[in-house]
Amino acid sequence: MLALYLGSVVLVGFQFGGRTVANNLKIFRWSFFHLLGQQDLYAPYPDHYYDIFKYSPSWAMLFAPFALPPMAIGFFLWDLGAALLLYHAVQRLLPEREARLALAIAYLEFAAAMQHASNTNSVTVALIIMAFVALEQGRHVEAGIAVATGALMKVYPLAALTFGLFHGRKGRLAGAFAAALAALVALPLLVTSPAELLAQWRSWGRVLQRDALEQGYSVMHLVDSWTGVVWPNWPQQLAGAALLLLPLALRRHQWGDPHFRRLLLCSVLLYVLIFNHEAEPPSFVVGFTGIAIWYAMSRHTAVRNALMGFAFVGVPLLHSELVPWSIRQHALAPEVMIYPCVVLWLVLQVELFVWRGGPPLPPSPPPRPPASPPGGG
């Protein structure tokens, strides 16, 4: 599985001529040099790329290790790092067999995101998973760093802070997150002045205000298409957050169950996709990874198999060349792609309400003890 993920990085690099034509990656690369030159990160630069930069000033600084090498090498290292991070996160979350199945199911959607040169989505889903795993293992500082890093890329990884509800020492998590966030916010001061950095943050705020009116591939788009009424995004997002957290409020006695906590992780991954007003096809790797983890760690009943098949056909299969473009150009609409994710999220919420405990799969065999050295001892 690792060879498949890493091999795809090489193949996609060749497919796009060393990635030097990938517009999203050009935006990330030039954002660092614009920060270095004290230019407005959020202004259009049609001589370098189309569209505009939409991430935080800190993210422009964090991309420096990939911006400084020659373009083809930097972009290859970025794709390689994204693949390794996602692979590592899932491997840390699940036992080996279940992790391998989850990575296999998520592979096509990972590859689709990479072909769109949008591996930031793969990185953010990996950071959310790593924050969950770190908290499960009592490493609050690592969790705080993961959430802060993700939030300064895409904002919505802040939802991972809900995992802290399950664990003690919540103050330690809050302190680690606040310290990591402050350090990352201040990071661009290595190359720019405080006044320039403040101006960049104000410019980013204006971009976020404009984008807040978009609907993307989201529940808000579905409500608009069903009702014919343009509703504000935030009440629907708030209602979704309430539904996300309701099982936690009503089923506190299940907080100690590892499977219940992993179900919440999968639900969060889907929530941050379907209620993201800027979601687009490459964003689906976030929610679909949650679906893959849910299926891999659950008993494979007929109902779950059918739901998994529905989601697989409705999301990654429509992203692949296995489906003719004449069909995909009509099928890749928000109304089509978001349905499986909404259905699976609602199923996850039901499972959170009805889960009664107990292992979802037969326990894995224990690891073999190391062989005794010659002569005993």
Question: What are φ and ψ of residue 20, in 5° steps?
Answer: -70, -15
Q: 232 in the Ramachandran plot: left (φ > 0), alpha (ψ -120 to 50) or beta?
A: beta
Which class for 142: exposed (0-12), middle (13-18), buried (19 or more C-beta within 10 A)?
Answer: middle
Q: Determine contact, residues 79/26, Cβ cutoff 8 Å.
A: no
Residue 376 — pLDDT band, cuts 50, 70, 90?
Answer: very low
pTM score over 0.85: yes
pLDDT digits (tens, 9 = 90+) for 256-286: 899 999 999 999 999 999 999 888 888 999 9
pLDDT digits (tens, 9 = 90+) for 226-248: 888 778 888 899 999 999 999 99
| Mean pLDDT (the chain, rounded) | 87
Q: Which candidate, 217, 233, 261, 228, places its Cα nearest to that of 121?
A: 217
Q: Determine contact, residues 267/349, Cβ cutoff 8 Å.
A: yes
pLDDT digits (tens, 9 = 90+) for 144-172: 999 999 999 888 899 999 999 888 888 99
For residue 226, what pLDDT is reported?
84
